[in-house]
Amino acid sequence: MEVMWFGLISFCTSLITGVIGVGGGLLLIAILPHFLPTNALIPVHGLTQIASNVSRTYFGWKDVQLEVVPKFFIGSLLGVSVFTLLLNQITLSSIPLLIGVYILVSLWSPWFNAKIMKYENYYLIGFLQTGLSVVVGTTGQLAIAKLLKDFNDANKVVATSALLMSITHLLKSVVFIYFGFVFFDYAGLIFVMMIGSVLGSYAGTKLRHKLESKTLMFLLKLLLSALALKSIVKTIFAG
């Protein structure tokens, strides 16, 4: 029966991301430490998120902007390679703070966007998002912040982000297999959570298409800002 609760949790978090585009993965990784050992947290979360993001991509395929994918994929390959090699040397404490500050200024500062535009691209976003995901679990806010600038349509942002996050979580899972994590030990739990994630993606996509895109874009920016502020405050007080 406990396993079924995990399926329900996955459904709810995937539903949130299916509607808004972000937040479900972060909520899930905040819940899982209460039930899973530390060494299983990021691998189990990653595999569950593959199901969530791949299904969300499938259900929203017509809105996916494929032109950004090759650049992001190349950056992701480089990022996961570099961060895997540096895994033991990376200091994790300041990463959430830096990501949070970047997201806030990226969303709300025209001056920052004017300055960063020449450097910000999908190669770099892929490098950082996928590389950092190996150590901090979920970094999808980075791609969302960039997509919000490039596409003024919530469905395009959410569907494209889902494909980019699928790449991130797939590559991250390969890293954990390389380091010897045995996913089979959690096969039953992962299966139920993946089913819940797919159902949540389906329901979330259907609900999103019933809502006005401008409203969703505004909600997405607000939620992304709230998550960024949470990362900043948590890092400051933890230090």
Tens of pLDDT, residue by residue over 37-55, are 777 777 888 888 899 999 9
Average pLDDT, rounded, for the chain: 83
* Distance (Å) of CA 181 to CA 9, 42, 43, 53, 123: 23, 11, 8, 22, 28
Six-digit token string for 85:
């090699």
For the chain, domain boundaries:
2-238
Six-digit token string for 173:
């899972």
Rounded CA separation 168/165 (Å) = 5
CA atoms within 13 A of residue 133's CA, in its CB half-sphere: 38
Amino acid identity for residue 50 in this structure:
I
Torsion angle of C-alpha atoms 146, 149, 154, 155, degrees rounded to 10: -60
User: Is 160 exposed, middle or buried (CB count within 10 Å of its CB: 0-12, 13-18, 19+)?
Assistant: buried
Q: pLDDT tier at 239 (50, 70, 90 boundaries)?
A: low
Tens of pLDDT, residue by residue over 89-129, are 666 566 667 667 777 877 788 776 666 666 789 999 999 88
Q: Specify the DSSP class assigned to residue 68.
A: G
Q: How far apart are the first and last CA of the chain?
A: 39
Q: Which residues fall within 8 angstroms of residue 74, CB to CB, at 6 or more apart?
A: 123, 126
What's the chain's Rg over C-alpha atoms? 17
Six-digit token string for 112:
């920052």
User: Is 46 exposed, middle or buried (CB count within 10 Å of its CB: 0-12, 13-18, 19+)?
Assistant: buried
Q: pLDDT tier at 1 (50, 70, 90 boundaries)?
A: very low
Cα-Cα-Cα-Cα dihedral sign, residues 84, 40, 239, 225:
positive
What does pTM read for this prediction?
A: 0.80
